Amino acid sequence: MGKWIATRIAQNDVSYHGSSIVREYPAEHHLEIPGMRRGFLLACHVGERAPDVQILLGETPTRTHTLCLGTHHVLFFFAHRKHPERSLHAWQELDVWLKGTYNDLVEAWLILPHRTEEAEHLGTRLICDENAVLGRAYSISEDGLVLVRPDGYVGFLGRPFSLEQVRAYLASIFVGMI
């Protein structure tokens, strides 16, 4: 009984999976086991609590939940693991659009498998995921997009990334705000 109460108070069993406020792309990645308890899932899904992972920002260790504190949404853009240079144009397009449209609402981070000189000159928020720890936590094997809501839950998940899908999702949740 004590564990049940602690879980409820900590909101560890809350899920928005299946709600209209979350979206997964493509749709066949949806979790199809209703009522499955959190903590037993091997893959990250929308509507679930965002995984907390130890990362390095430059040389400074921090946690992903630290990046997600506050009132803004956090977008993680995972560049292609084997060929990150192929993703940089899409990242730049998305980053410019976000800054022009949702600057005060969405904070975007570029996730690269390793540092590149080209990425260093972008003047962007950058996380190097050399051991794929962050990618595994969010179930991103190649490339993808993850939007973490201000309450710490995954609101959008795209595997592979789709700029059109994340734009449509943001337009649906920020109706009348821009």
pLDDT in tens, 83-138: 998 899 999 999 999 999 999 999 999 999 987 776 667 767 899 998 899 999 99
pLDDT at 41: 41
Tell me whether residue 114 is in a domain: yes
In contact, 143 and 78? CB cutoff 8 Å: yes
pLDDT at 39: 43
Tell me whether residue 106 is in a domain: yes
Tell me whether residue 59 is in a domain: yes
DSSP letter (8 states) at residue 159 = S
Q: What are the helix (H) ranges across the chain?
A: 2-10, 64-67, 88-101, 117-120, 133-137, 163-173
In contact, 98 and 108? CB cutoff 8 Å: yes
Q: Can you tell me the distance from the alpha carbon of 43 to that of 135, in angstroms, rounded to the nearest whole number?
A: 11
pLDDT in tens, 40-94: 445 788 899 999 999 988 788 999 999 999 999 999 999 999 999 889 999 999 9
pLDDT in tens, 140-177: 888 999 999 999 999 999 988 899 999 999 999 998 66
Closest CA relative to residue 169, chosen from 92, 105, 112, 126: 105
Count other Cβ atoms within 10 Å, centred on residue 28: 7
In contact, 149 and 73? CB cutoff 8 Å: yes
pLDDT at 25: 83
pLDDT at 2: 56
Rounded to an integer, the average pLDDT of 1-30 is: 61
Q: Can you tell me the distance from the alpha carbon of 71 to that of 150, in angstroms, rounded to the nearest whole number?
A: 5
Tell me whether residue 178 is in a domain: no
Domain count for the chain, please give it. 1
Tell me whether residue 43 is in a domain: yes
| CATH number, domain containing residue 168 | 3.40.30.120
pLDDT at 21: 74
Tell me whether residue 131 is in a domain: yes
Tell me whether residue 107 is in a domain: yes
Tell me whether residue 113 is in a domain: yes
Query: Where in the sequence is the domain holding 139, given as residue range(s)?
Result: 2-173
Give 35's pLDDT tier (boundaries 50, 70, 90).
Answer: very low
pLDDT at 19: 65
